[in-house]
Amino acid sequence: MPTDLSLVAEELLPQKGSMCLLEKVISADDEGLVATAIFRSNSLFCREGRVGAWVSLECMAQAVAAWAGYHDRQQGKSPRMGFLLGSSRFDCARPWLALDRMLRIEVRKEIQMDDGLGQFTGVTVDEEGMVSSAVLTVFSPEDPLAVIQGGARG
C-alpha cells in the first residue's frame, strides 16, 4: 500500500534549484512512486514559450531518483546521486508539454539488483491523458563518487 506523502520533491532528490524538475512526491512504496511537475515559462527547459515532451523522460528519471531517495530517507540517509544508463520504448504522444499544467509522473520498479542496477517503467500523464512512457535502466551505487572516479563498482 503506497504511503501518502505530499513532500516537496527536493527533500528526496540530489537535484536542487532549477535542476529539480519535480514539484511534489505524492506517494511512494517499495514498488514505485508518484510525483508531479509543473513547467512554467521560466523553467530551465522552456524555449520560445514551450517545453519539449522529451523532458518528460528526465521527469521519469528524477521520479526514480526520488524513489531511491525515499528509501534512503527511511534508513536515515541523504539522497544520493544515481545514473540514468539508458531508456527504451520511449513513446511520446505529443511533441510539447503544456505550460502551467500539472504533469503526473508514475514509476514502477521492474527489477532492482543489490549492486544498485535497476529497471523501472514510467509514464507521464496530464489532464488530456498520456504524454509519454518509457523503460528506464538506472544505476544507484552505494558510493557514486567512487564510481565517477573509477574506483569501486558499488
Boundaries of domain holding 61: 3-148
Q: Is residue 18 part of a domain?
A: yes
Q: Is residue 153 part of a domain?
A: no
Q: Is residue 47 part of a domain?
A: yes
Q: What is the pLDDT of residue 153?
A: 52
Q: pLDDT over 90 for what percent of the chain?
A: 77
Q: How many domains does the chain have?
A: 1
CATH code at position 71: 3.10.129.10
Q: Is residue 39 part of a domain?
A: yes
Rounded CA gap, 1 and 59, in Å?
A: 23
pLDDT tens digit sequence for 38-84: 999 999 999 998 999 999 999 999 999 999 999 999 999 999 889 99
Three-state SS for 15?
Answer: coil
Q: What is the pLDDT of residue 150?
A: 80
Percent composition of the chain: helix, strand, coil (DSSP 3-state, to 5):
20, 45, 35
Q: Is residue 64 part of a domain?
A: yes
Q: What is the pLDDT of residue 83?
A: 93
Q: What is the mean predicted confidence (pLDDT) over 28-35?
A: 96
Amino acid code (one letter) for 36: T
pLDDT tens digit sequence for 17-28: 889 999 999 999
Rounded CA gap, 63 and 124, in Å?
A: 11
Grid coordinates representing 27 are 506517494
The partner residues of 4 in beta bridges, in order of sequence, read: 27
Q: Is residue 154 part of a domain?
A: no
Three-state SS for 123?
Answer: strand
Grid coordinates representing 53 are 515532451
Q: What is the pLDDT of residue 99?
A: 94
Q: Is residue 105 part of a domain?
A: yes
Q: What is the pLDDT of residue 53?
A: 95
For residue 120, name the pLDDT band (cuts at 50, 70, 90): very high
Burial 124-133, CB ≥16 within 10 A → b, else e: bbbeeeebbb
Q: What is the pLDDT of residue 93?
A: 96
- Residue written as grid cell 534549484: 17
Q: What is the mean predicted confidence (pLDDT) over 105-130?
A: 96
pTM of the complete model beyond 0.75: yes
What does the H/E/C string look like for 17-79?
Answer: HHHCCCCEEEEECCCEEEEEEECCCCCCCCECCEEECCHHHHHHHHHHHHHHHHHHHHCCCCC
Is it the case that residue 154 has pLDDT exceeding 70?
no
Q: What is the pLDDT of residue 124?
A: 98
